[in-house]
Amino acid sequence: MNMINLLPQDYVQRRNQHRVNVFSVILLAVVLASVAGAALVSERSSRNTREVCERINHSYEEASRLIDEMYQLEAQKRTMLDKAKTSAALMERLPRSYVLAILTNALPKGASLTSIKLTTHVVKPPAPTAPAVKAALVANQRAGAGAEAAKLAVSLEVKGKAATDVEVARFIANLAKHPLTDMVDLSYSKEARGKDDAPREFHIRIRLKPNGDALEAVEVEAKLPRDDGPGGDA
């Protein structure tokens, strides 16, 4: 059975056009909503990315500041170690007056000194082998390189006069007994020229122990006997 459409043709066309327009508007709204949603998601993602980048940059700046402070502390540490090393080297642990007292106290009766030459020099350590070098590097890394002060040694050249070689031998023996004496060497003992109460001249070389401390040696020295021979002071 055929259906007869009694609606005007213009009305049918306008209704179809209206439906197409409504569908197009709905489709446009869906597309715009999708674009807006995508833009919103993209903006939120970009904002999160910027926040993460800012936090990372702040962390890098903080780490850079900490590294700079560490370098400054290392520089201050090296400066303090250098000052401590210099102070330790300059600190007079063995006063010259005490060195003269060593010679005076060791000098027996019948002997006198005519000249004293004192020399201070740095003791150079022996050249280490390869394993020793490696061990020294490890020790320096643990304890801090440059913290140890240089060892200083005092050498003396003494000239004097004595009645006999017995007094010279007693002088050498008294010097050798001192806790700070490292070496006592007689260069010569000979007859003096000209007329003098002391007919013998002598020359003695003395080396004191490196980095000797007078305060530590006083107690030990007080307990040692002194050989002045018959008629000498005790």
Tell whether 179 and 117 lie within a shared domain: yes
- Sheet containing 111-122: give its strands across: 111-122, 152-162, 200-208, 181-191
Separation CA 147–CA 86 (nearest Å)? 10
Is the predicted pLDDT of residue 141 greater than 60, yes or no? no
Give DSSP secondary structure letters for 70-139.
HHHHHHHHHHHHHHHHHHHHHS-SS-HHHHHHHHHHHPPTTEEEEEEEEEEEEPPPPPP-HHHHHHHHHH
Band of residue 222 on the pLDDT scale cut at 50, 70, 90 = low
Q: What average pLDDT does the segment 47-53 reach?
A: 89
pLDDT given for residue 135 in this prediction? 63
Among 91, 109, 126, the domain-final residue is: 91
Q: What average pLDDT does the segment 97-101 reach?
A: 86
pLDDT digits (tens, 9 = 90+) for 165-174: 899 999 999 9
Is the predicted pLDDT of residue 112 greater than 60, yes or no? yes
3 state DSSP class of 194 = coil
Among 62, 91, 120, the domain-final residue is: 91
In percent, the amount of the chain with pLDDT more than 70 equals 72
Please report whether residue 55 resides in a domain: yes
Is the predicted pLDDT of residue 71 greater than 90, yes or no? yes
pLDDT given for residue 157 in this prediction? 94
Separation CA 110–CA 101 (nearest Å)? 18
Tell whether 199 and 144 lie within a shared domain: yes
pLDDT given for residue 230 in this prediction? 42
pLDDT given for residue 128 in this prediction? 59
Tell whether 87 and 102 lie within a shared domain: no
Please report whether residue 125 resides in a domain: yes
Band of residue 229 on the pLDDT scale cut at 50, 70, 90 = very low
pLDDT digits (tens, 9 = 90+) for 18-37: 888 888 889 999 999 988 88
Domain that holds residue 152: 96-222
Tell whether 123 and 16 lie within a shared domain: no
Tell whether 73 and 136 lie within a shared domain: no
Tell whether 107 and 218 lie within a shared domain: yes
Tell whether 60 and 125 lie within a shared domain: no
Give DSSP secondary structure letters for 204-229.
EEEEEPTT--HHHHHHHHHTS-----
Tell whether 193 and 115 lie within a shared domain: yes
- For the chain, the C-alpha Rg in angstroms (whole number) is 49
In percent, the amount of the chain with pLDDT more than 90 equals 26
Q: What average pLDDT does the segment 96-122 reach?
A: 87
Say which CATH number the domain at 168 has.
3.30.70
Tell whether 110 and 212 lie within a shared domain: yes
pLDDT given for residue 70 in this prediction? 93
Please report whether residue 186 resides in a domain: yes
Tell whether 150 and 168 lie within a shared domain: yes
On average, the pLDDT of the chain sits at 79
Tell whether 71 and 113 lie within a shared domain: no
User: Structural domain tally of the chain?
Assistant: 2
pTM of model > 0.85 = no
Among 52, 74, 91, the domain-final residue is: 91
